[in-house]
Structure 1
Amino acid sequence: MNYPIYLDYNATTPCAPEVIEAMMPYFGTHYGNAASKSHPYGWLAENAVETAREQVANLIGARPKEIIFTSGATEAINLGIKGTFEAYFGEKQHYITFATEHKAVLDTFEEIERRGAEVTYLKVNTKGEIRLEELQDPILPHTKMICLMWANNETGVIHPVKEIAKLAESRNIIFFTDAVQAAGKIPVFTQGIHLMALSAHKLYGPKGVGALFVRHNHDLPKPLAQIHGGGHEKGIRSGTLNVPGIVGFGKAAELRMQEMRTEAIRLGELRDQLEKGLLTISDTFLNGSRENRLPHVSNIAFGGVEGEELLKRVNQKVAVSSGSACTSISPKPSHVLAAMGLSSDLGRASIRFSLGKNTSESEIDLTIDWVRKVVFEIRRH
């Protein structure tokens, strides 16, 4: 198949060759169940899982015992939010989150609302940024959690996690961050954070494996298990562990520790080159903050074109998306851009370009030429 240029790294990343190599023995030669404690097949699998647990913990500055492996970030988010709701069962409960969170977060909060929780959805400004002073007022005596993503998956805007962690700590409230787009791209930390969702396939690891960081040594309750049967992962997440996937996740985390900083500089330069070329097109502008954002993401609105036609034509030669992969099948404009005040038409005519390890300068030049051509042709007709 003649694939287009790939600029949709926020949707998924290709497995790094070293990751595939690390995983392969655990599909065949070392096929043991990590829960089999009585023979070498199980011991070897368990050792591989514990090595990966340490590698993932190192990436975020956690302790290995604080990493709970899941099937991905969506499960980790459900476990963190629903599990906390159930840990406080019987109490009056209030949660604070933001209108620009990923659908995995927003839909999970809608579910606990149906079960009786109160949820406040805070707004963002036109750049997609939050206002810290507006976070103080909604805190109630029965507020149990503040939930905020580290970096937005559509605009790349980085939120003030350190300040919110301090606020949550001072008020004895659980702070949960979806760090899926941040971990492995920029340095992250766990100080003041109680729960953090991670995903392997966003950082050059395999699909179908993620993790929930669960902070130890504090008084606030840990989330209750949502999957029962066998007591795996310290009883928080039962189920036979995906050993090859977990090994791949660990290796990917180790690689990102080595590559992240230099790669961020390279991708930032390529991203700036892309924007310089595209924003010279009339009636185009950047969605989100120019300063405080991930180095590899650019979300650009193209005025005067029909969004569905624009995306269809651009994707003939450059693989991009209009928002998160989870909502790309929907013709509705992005809820993130809508929350930032964009009109429906401009929201639909916005494209997220996300760059990655395989992105080259020549690909950026080709992308600029192709997008310019497509926009001019659509506008002519």
Structure 2
Amino acid sequence: MADNASGQPGQRRGGMVDSSAQIESVLNNLVYALFAKSGHPGEVAMPREIGNLVIFDDPVAVDSIVKAPDLFRKNFSLISALGFSRFNTNDQDWAVRRTITQDRYLSAAKPAHKRTVAEIYRMGIAGCDASLADIQQALFAAAMDIFYKAFGLVPEIAPTAELLDRVREVLRRLQYYSWVTPTNAERTGAIHEARKVIGDFGSQLMADPRSAAEMDRFAEMARDIDGFSPIEEFVMNLFAGVETTVTTVLWVIDRLGANQQVQERIHAEILADKAETPFTDCIINETMRYFPPIPFLTREVGADMALDGRTLRAGQLVMVSIVGVHQNPAYWENPRTFDASRKEFMDDSFDRRAFIPFLTGPRMCGGARLGRLEIKEAVRAVVRRFAFSRADDVIRFDYALALRPASGLSVSVSRR
């Protein structure tokens, strides 16, 4: 096993398949380690490696990495057993895949669609009981509805949500096996489950004539890509868009529960229904700074080079710590503190290289505009209807590619 998810495979015990709890613990510890290494002033800087992976967390160096996709290539190792999409491919393969979905994302995020997005979240939250689990379920349903509508489709909410839960668990296991060498049984089982969930998603999509026609459109646009699967493309886009959006809203709820004064100020701002909402915008940005939906990335170095004072070799894997970028003390005041009225956001004085929740450069998240629109409208809908409180302020999370708050946190919900 890896020691605290250090990335160094340790000795396996008797060839036993690792439990879900063990996998969750190791991956969560990896992210805890990134948080522990971030936000320190230079004189007490922490080691910048995890296992064999060199960590890059300086905003200038990271900006160079993410803006040079030819030199720092995506390599998702075993995670690709779930399939290939615009999120884990490179070069012309990626460029073709991008054209399939990008226009749909941009269209869905147009100002003309703001009212539709707001109404979907308003209606979803209106039917909620005063429980965090029910609110989370409603948020996922609304996010799925908006994603499907972007492609002219209507989801079957319950079975789609169940399939997405399976996708998340498969991705968690596959990512774990990218860090900890799996047994043959583990590897075979994980790949089988990955292909099974894609097959089940495909059966659901192809049973609906509208969805089947959209999959045909995907396939036609990617006809020059050998082995292209429209189902894989759709599923990975769906997971990435829905999971990161809802995750951010859940963290906003968590932070509102920890600070009643901030919560009431934002509630008053939302009730005022003005065009400008600086406090709401600020807490959303601060949430994405402190809890980036995707806390880190890995990239494969394309050529021998030096970067940020370190020598890199072709084929070497490096880690980009979004957590570290967002907590770099040279760019943020008190970076390890969650500040719902952070000056850098209120004054719009932050360095754009130090705040990259959607990345930047040519591989920036294609759904960033839609994601921002959804997050804000979801927060507005939730805060209008519910109030939150926390018995403690201990931060715990649940990591599976995206960083959710841990289930079972002490967040109490009441109707307003």
The structure that is helix-richer by fraction is 2
- After TM superposition, the score normalised by the length of structure 2 is 0.26
Greater RCO (Cα-Cα under 8 Å, separation 6 or more): 2
Query: Under a length normalisation based on structure 1, what TM-score does the superposition of the two structures give?
Result: 0.28
